[in-house]
Amino acid sequence: MTSAAIPPQTTSAVAMIRTLGLIAALCGLIIVSAYQGTYDAVQENKRIAVERAVFKVIPTAKSIVEYAAAPIGTIVKVGAGGTAPNAVPEGAVKFYAGYDASGKLSGIAAEGVAKGYSDNVRILYAYDPATAMISGFGVVAMRETPGIGDKILVDKGFLASFPLQASLSADGAILSREIVTVKHGSKANPWEIDAITGATITSRAVGRAINDSAKRLLPRIVPRISELKEQP
């Protein structure tokens, strides 16, 4: 490591830079060709993964369109004519609109994230505009304890909490009732989620993820839901 360790006849700096440059160029070439070669397959995989997740939470959907809802109340289609295919405007919330076979809106899906027991729990939940209810959710990624935290996908009592009420207040700026997770067995209202005994933290994360996201998204899209009614 020290200069004393280098033997007297050292390689000249020019030779070193030349070799390093050559190798860097070679490596750059390899990386770029790998990136270009796999780009289409990777994008296709990502699209399929999103579609599969959305179709799972909106079972009646046959096709999806990706939108972003900006804070000032406009809704733009993501990837429409833009240069970057996945660019979302600053501060906007991304969501997916699912359309059935006849091109009618069958549901809205959006991502939510909250801290769970061992890491972030990322979920995708579905909002049904016709009834103003959260109809269900699916997990995008989580590292919860197998056999305990991952019960959120199978526990009957927990899943029976859905659909959840998610109506807006009179002025449309906030949720009329925040979605909360309550202790197992004490669910009394349509906006409450019945926690799983022994997996309270994960249950609460699901509630928080839905609430945080719905609180931001729904006031922006519900007043303009008519723009989304038909498949573009």
Residues in touch with other proteins (CB under 8 A)? 1, 6, 10-11, 15-16, 19-20, 22-24, 27-28, 30-32, 34-35, 37-38, 41-42, 45-46, 49, 113-120, 141, 145-148, 201, 204-205, 209, 212
State the burial class of residue 216 (Cβ atoms within 10 Å of its Cβ: 0-12, 13-18, 19+). Answer: middle
Strand partners, 126: 109, 136
Give me the least distance between CB of 64 and other proteins, in Å please.
Answer: 17
**CA atoms of 84 and 100, how far apart (whole Å):** 28
146: amino acid identity, one letter: P
17 Cβ contact partners less than 8 Å away, ≥ 6 residues apart:
none
- CB nearer to other proteins: give 22 or 160: 22
Give me the least distance between CB of 46 and other proteins, in Å please.
Answer: 7
- CB nearer to other proteins: give 100 or 150: 150
156 Cβ contact partners less than 8 Å away, ≥ 6 residues apart:
none
Phi, psi (deg, nearest 5) at residue 100? -85, -175
Give me the least distance between CB of 100 and other proteins, in Å please.
Answer: 26
Task: Assess contact for 188 and 138: CB atoms under 8 A.
Answer: no
Give me the least distance between CB of 23 and other proteins, in Å please.
Answer: 6
Give me the least distance between CB of 131 and other proteins, in Å please.
Answer: 27
Give me the least distance between CB of 134 and other proteins, in Å please.
Answer: 18
For strands 133-141 and 120-128, give the pairing. antiparallel
Cα 203 to chain centroid distance, Å, stands at 18
- CB nearer to other proteins: give 177 or 215: 215
- CB nearer to other proteins: give 204 or 220: 204
- CB nearer to other proteins: give 49 or 101: 49
- CB nearer to other proteins: give 107 or 204: 204
159: amino acid identity, one letter: L
